[in-house]
């Protein structure tokens, strides 16, 4: 039997298999082409520009303004500083925020080399090591959730206790990567199960537009600053409350998904420049026009809404001046 006869017989014996294989390939190609043809391309619309990036290393502490930051699942990071990864606690481990100690908003934390630098009005700067592995890990309570923190030492405790000057002993703790984070979904059910946070109230990223603050100020006797509302990402070049409708946005390589509005509390009545709480404004004004839809009262209750919480879907670097693009 010559080569031609061998190939003829082989084709005859395997014709069905070849036909099935060829049909499968054509079907797959057709599906791919059809999917690409039918799939609508994502519409990307520029809706604003990043005007400020704010990191709050200490929960309720003073914001650190940076020109660029890493945007990670658990919040913004700049050098050694991570958003809300340090916490002031009482001796029995309960959180201390600006709600209980308004002057805490005047305490700033920066980093220099391998040290953290604490500053506050009329206080000498305190430098403590960033890493203190021999210090004890203590159990803390943030609202109703248990979490750990590495004690930052007696010097930090004495410094904070003297500044806050309320007759109590306070300690500073740091959240470390090996520690178990809190689950945002256990705080607010709208968050995805994968969302993790250290010491923030709810979510890791909060975004607010300058225009929303400007609109609020038209209703106030005394202007409020953006820093009073403690956002991480501040956006300019958009209409007031436009951020309420930005379900999916991209900033540089970062992809963010809107989860829920930020319900505001009495902490907004603390002046970030003086550390004085008046318990009225701007909270009362926000309640006059920014309450939720009745269908969402089970989520927000009586809290007015101002700013938006986002989940980080893709990590990356964000810089001041970056366009904010809405994805539809």
Return the C-alpha torsion angle 227, 229, 235, 239, nearest 10: -130
| Residue 22 maps to a domain | no
| Residue 36 maps to a domain | no
Residue 146: strand pairing partners? 141
The vertex-203 CA angle with 81 and 274, nearest 5°, equals 60
Cβ-contact 191, 203 below 8 angstroms: yes
**What does pTM read for this prediction?**
0.88
| Residue 153 maps to a domain | yes
Residue 207: strand pairing partners? 233, 308
Cβ-contact 134, 141 below 8 angstroms: no
For residue 43, give both structure tokens: 């519409």
| Residue 319 maps to a domain | yes
| Residue 138 maps to a domain | yes
Distance, in Å, from the CA atom of 197 to the CA atom of 183, rounded to the nearest integer, reads 6
**Furthest-apart CA pair in the chain: how many Å?**
105
Per residue of the chain (328 residues), give pLDDT as tens.
554 554 455 445 555 444 444 445 444 454 444 444 445 568 999 999 999 999 999 999 999 999 999 999 999 999 999 999 999 999 999 999 999 999 999 999 999 999 999 999 999 999 999 999 999 999 999 998 999 999 999 999 999 999 999 999 999 999 999 999 999 999 999 999 999 999 999 999 999 999 999 999 999 999 999 999 999 999 999 999 999 999 999 999 999 999 999 999 999 999 999 999 999 999 999 999 999 999 999 999 999 999 999 999 999 999 999 999 999 9
**3-class SS at 45?**
strand
| Residue 133 maps to a domain | yes
For residue 172, count other CB atoms closer than 10 A to its CB.
Answer: 27
Residue 148: strand pairing partners? 139
Distance, in Å, from the CA atom of 245 to the CA atom of 233, rounded to the nearest integer, reads 16
**What CATH number is attached to the domain comprising 81?**
2.40.33.20
Q: Looking at the 3D structure of the chain, how many domains does it have?
A: 1
Distance, in Å, from the CA atom of 170 to the CA atom of 159, rounded to the nearest integer, reads 9
| Residue 15 maps to a domain | no
| Residue 14 maps to a domain | no
Give how far Cα 182 sits from Cα of 146, 186, 192, 262, Å. Answer: 8, 8, 13, 18
- Residue ranges making up the domain that contains 287: 44-327
Distance, in Å, from the CA atom of 89 to the CA atom of 46, rounded to the nearest integer, reads 42
């Amino acid at each position: 039997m010559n080569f031609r006869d061998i190939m003829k017989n082989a084709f005859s014996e395997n014709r069905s298999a070849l036909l099935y294989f060829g049909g499968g390939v054509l079907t797959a190609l057709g599906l791919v082409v059809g999917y690409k043809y039918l799939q609508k391309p994502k519409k990307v619309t520029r809706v604003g520009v990043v005007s400020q990036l704010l990191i709050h290393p200490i929960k309720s502490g003073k914001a650190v303004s940076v020109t660029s930051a890493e945007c990670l699942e658990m919040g913004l990071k700049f050098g050694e500083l991570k958003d809300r990864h340090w916490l002031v606690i009482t001796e029995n481990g309960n959180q201390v925020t600006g709600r209980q100690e308004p002057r805490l908003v005047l305490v700033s934390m920066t980093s220099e080399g391998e040290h953290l630098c604490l500053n506050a009005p009329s206080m000498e700067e305190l430098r403590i090591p960033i890493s203190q592995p021999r210090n004890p890990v203590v159990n803390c309570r943030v609202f109703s959730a248990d979490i750990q923190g590495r004690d930052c030492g007696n010097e930090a405790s004495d410094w904070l206790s003297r500044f806050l000057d309320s007759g109590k002993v306070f300690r500073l703790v740091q959240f470390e990567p090996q520690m178990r984070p809190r689950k945002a979904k256990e705080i607010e059910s709208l968050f995805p199960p994968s969302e993790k946070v250290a010491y923030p109230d709810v979510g890791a990223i909060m975004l607010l537009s300058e225009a929303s603050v400007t609109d609020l100020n038209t209703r106030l006797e005394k202007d409020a600053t953006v820093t009073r509302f403690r956002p991480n990402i501040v956006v300019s070049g958009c209409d007031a409350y436009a951020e309420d409708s930005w379900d999916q946005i991209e900033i540089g390589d970062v992809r963010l998904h809107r989860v829920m509005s930020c319900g505001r509390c009495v902490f907004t009545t603390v002046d970030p420049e003086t550390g004085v709480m008046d318990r009225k404004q701007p909270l009362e004004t926000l309640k006059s026009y920014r309450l939720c839809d009745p269908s969402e009262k089970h989520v927000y209750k009586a809290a007015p809404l101002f700013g938006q919480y986002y989940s980080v879907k893709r990590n990356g670097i964000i810089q001041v001046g970056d366009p904010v693009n809405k994805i539809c």
